[in-house]
A and B are shown apart, each in its own frame.
Chain A
């Protein structure tokens, strides 16, 4: 099929090569790499005067970022994001499985149903959750009328401004990131393997853990990363749904730039988040291999 060579060497057609790669590479270097490099440089800087920062090569900002207070916030961010990711997996896997076994026409509608919230503005979705989780919100109103009908005393559940609300918000926003890659993996799966397993006497649960989950491992690994990475850097959910005790790393970074006006420290915190993100991404091959080998 692929008789014609896929790639040609750039040296033969330098003009065409530069015309193609030049504009995107230029944009990337000027408007992505350069701004990030400046943040990186600022993370080794010191405040001198009101709006002036000297790149002094100090590690003081990183030393401060490693103080128990900030390390604690970083650990808490990882914990909240990981818990939200786990809940997404527990909810998303059955949904992906059900969609992949649905009739073709139903499957398209179910996928659109999962995608639509994902296309909807993040701020709108977070705002919609506020109305559900507030003290006098939908959940509490429903619970109150239920308690009323049963003749039980009722005290509103405190959800908004707690860590629970942040986790609910993260799950709500990131669930499609989990469902879609798992669905893609399940869709490619060879179903005769499931039949064989069932024929050979394994139950449905055993088949699930011994056959379906290992085969879906690449999709699960992708879903875990696609959920965990953005959840870790979330700003809106902890800001609008969480309370003073559920601030995540992104909120602390924002404060350094917008209120505390300590840009070098904010820059150091930003790069702590970047390093952490890369560390998580480096786990991907490990995750996928572990799943496939199980």
Chain B
């Protein structure tokens, strides 16, 4: 990609393409910009500008339910990411390393959680945790979040597996053989040779799992109980009830977290010599 395209092929500078691109970016960012702007608006209404205030942020911090929901979401996302990283990496290494009967079935099966519609997974966990394996009520926090975390891991770890497996495709097995020749056991070789090589994909996969878990509404909506409300479920009930700038304020905070996480990930990936971009 070092070669500069000749002017003949300079599609990036042709006006029809530029126009569409401009319109699409406007479409993507105007709603978000308005959302942020009206979180500072000195009025209950979210359309007409009345003057600057931080009042909605004060009310947001005072809303203990909302802050508790955000805390639940972050804890679930963190736990689900850690477990997904372990399970996803194990699955990827097993599928990369071994030939075994039924491999196509297992490999295809692991991609099902990515393909199955969210609503179906949601009702599946609703039935499962209601009739098959009731999650005990009244457990101390954060054990009470167990059911949701289990559900999140089920759909997050296959994404980690996909990302890690893609990275393993380019691993040179001779490096591992060299370590084995020098006396490392299979476990040492995995930890000292393969895992460091996988680091960029672990970062990308972990970030993907974290975002998917934090973002999930539908599956959590079916799995959450009254005392295990997550951030999206809480915001959903607020939005259903009434449109208030408090939702704009908390959304702005979440947007900031997203932007910060994305840039941290890009930085780290660039430093570890991985691809410069997520996805």
Contact = CB atoms under 8 A, between A and B. Distances in A.
Contact of A194 (B9, B121, B243, B279): B9
Contacts of B118: 230, 233, 235
Nearest to A184: B279
Given A101-B11, A103-B12, A266-B123, A21 B90 contact: yes
B222 A257 contact: yes
Contacts of B153: 27, 31
Contacts of A136: 45, 47
Nearest to B218: A235
Interface stretch (B53-61, B196-204, B258-266): B258-266
Contacts of A24: 87-88, 90-91, 94, 110, 157, 161
Interface string A88-99: 000110110111
Interface in A57-94: 91-92, 94
Interface residues of B, number: 101
Contacts of A152: none
A61 to B, nearest CB: 13
A127 B27 contact: no
Contacts of B116: 36, 274, 277
A129 interface: yes
A210 to B, nearest CB: 15
Contacts of A281: 115
B273 to A, nearest CB: 16
A236 B32 contact: no
Nearest to B83: A27
Contacts of A97: 11, 17
Give the size category of A's interface with B.
35 or more
B243 A123 contact: no
B247 interface: yes
A94 B16 contact: yes
A128 interface: yes
Contacts of A4: 172-174, 176-177
Contacts of A267: 123, 127
B104 interface: no
Tell me what chain A mostly uses at the interface: helix, strand, loop, or mixed: helix
A195 to B, nearest CB: 7
A39 B35 contact: no
Contact of B173 (A6, A115, A120): A6
A279 interface: no
A200 B94 CA distance: 51
Interface stretch (A8-16, A214-222, A286-294): A8-16
A32 B123 contact: no
B32 A273 contact: no
Contacts of A232: 117
Interface in B42-70: 45-48
Nearest to A253: B119
Interface in B255-279: 255, 258-259, 261-262, 266, 276-279
Given A91-B24, A141-B47, A270 B215 contact: no
B174 A250 contact: no
B132 interface: yes
A132 B31 contact: yes
Contact of A13 (B5, B186, B247): B186
Nearest to A187: B1
Contact of B123 (A104, A112, A257): A257
Nearest to A180: B279
Counting chain B CB atoms within 10 Å of each CB, the highest count among A42, A128, A137, A254 belongs to A128
Contacts of A202: none
Contact of A119 (B5, B35, B99, B258): B258
A50 interface: no
A17 interface: yes
Given A101-B11, A120-B32, A273-B117, A16 B21 contact: no
A203 interface: no
Across the A-B interface, give the 4 residue pairs with the lowest CB-CB distance, nearest first. Answer: A233-B117, A4-B173, A24-B91, A20-B94
8 contacts: A17-B94, A21-B90, A28-B154, A34-B132, A35-B121, A39-B123, A116-B258, A233-B120
